Amino acid sequence: MLDNLVGFRRHLRNTKGLKLREEIHATDFINSPGELKRIKRHDRVDVMKQCIDWVASNSDISVTTVCIDKRNRREEDDVFEFAWTLLIQRFENTMRHKNFPGPANPDDRGMIFPDNTDGEKLKRLLRKLRHFNPVPNITPLYQGGYRNMNIRYIIEDPVLKDSQHSFFNQIVDVIAYSARQMYEPNKYMKKKGGHNFYKRLMPVLNTAASTKNVLGIVEQ
């Protein structure tokens, strides 16, 4: 997979002039590109579309997205912790129920390699969920309440990465940006069809993550 991604980045270097050492940070990439201004804006949008299509073409990848509407949260709510809890739970459940693509191996386990932002906070959250992860019962089957479904399939603390040095994290950033463009498109991305980029991921979306959204996005 990494060799495939490196080959893709070489393709972008040869066709768009994006050097391998240069980071794709989606928001800045479109609106405040700095040195990358040498690449025309419509070409930078095309780079993002190609990133999405690269992901969609790899059947070993499964994409899970959480969307939090801050307007629905109380001022005292910790959105970071809430969003990561939902994502960790979906990651755990996907492994637990063998919903990832490929052979359903009985001993699948996972790790988290996030961008290095609030890493200590995320580590504390994951450690807490290993001991206490309350999941509401499905009311038709149970009479309310919750079950404590300890996180068991994520085997280690998060391994923090600097996205500048991780092609994979840069790809994830493009996916997250594309998801946000569906809800809050900026004028230029909408003009170029960028608000529909996320839908191009349909072949690899983890639709089991949410039955309420056709794209499997966990909306809260």
Q: What is the DSSP string of 99-163?
A: -SSS---TT--B----BSSSHHHHHHHHHHHHH--EEE--TTTSSS-EEE----SB-S----B-G
Residue 93 has pLDDT above 80, yes or no: yes
The pLDDT, as a whole number, for residue 100 is 87
Mean pLDDT for the stretch of residues 36-46: 97
What is the average pLDDT value for the chain, to the nearest integer? 93
The pLDDT, as a whole number, for residue 139 is 59
Mean pLDDT is highest, among 4-8, 68-72, 101-105, for 4-8
Element (H, E) at 67: strand 66-67
Mean pLDDT for the stretch of residues 194-217: 96
Confidence of residue 140 (pLDDT cuts 50, 70, 90): low
Mean pLDDT for the stretch of residues 62-73: 94
User: Which positions ≥6 away from 83 have C-beta within 8 Å?
Assistant: 66, 68
The pLDDT, as a whole number, for residue 145 is 77
Q: What pTM does this model have?
A: 0.92
Residue 174 has pLDDT above 90, yes or no: yes
The pLDDT, as a whole number, for residue 90 is 95
Mean pLDDT for the stretch of residues 119-143: 84
The pLDDT, as a whole number, for residue 205 is 97
What's the CA angle centered on 62, arms 220 and 5, to 5 degrees?
Answer: 125
Helix (H, G, I), strand (E, B) or coil at 164: helix
Residue 134 has pLDDT above 90, yes or no: no
Instruction: Write down the domain spans for the chain.
Output: 2-62+164-219, 79-148
Confidence of residue 75 (pLDDT cuts 50, 70, 90): confident
Confidence of residue 200 (pLDDT cuts 50, 70, 90): very high
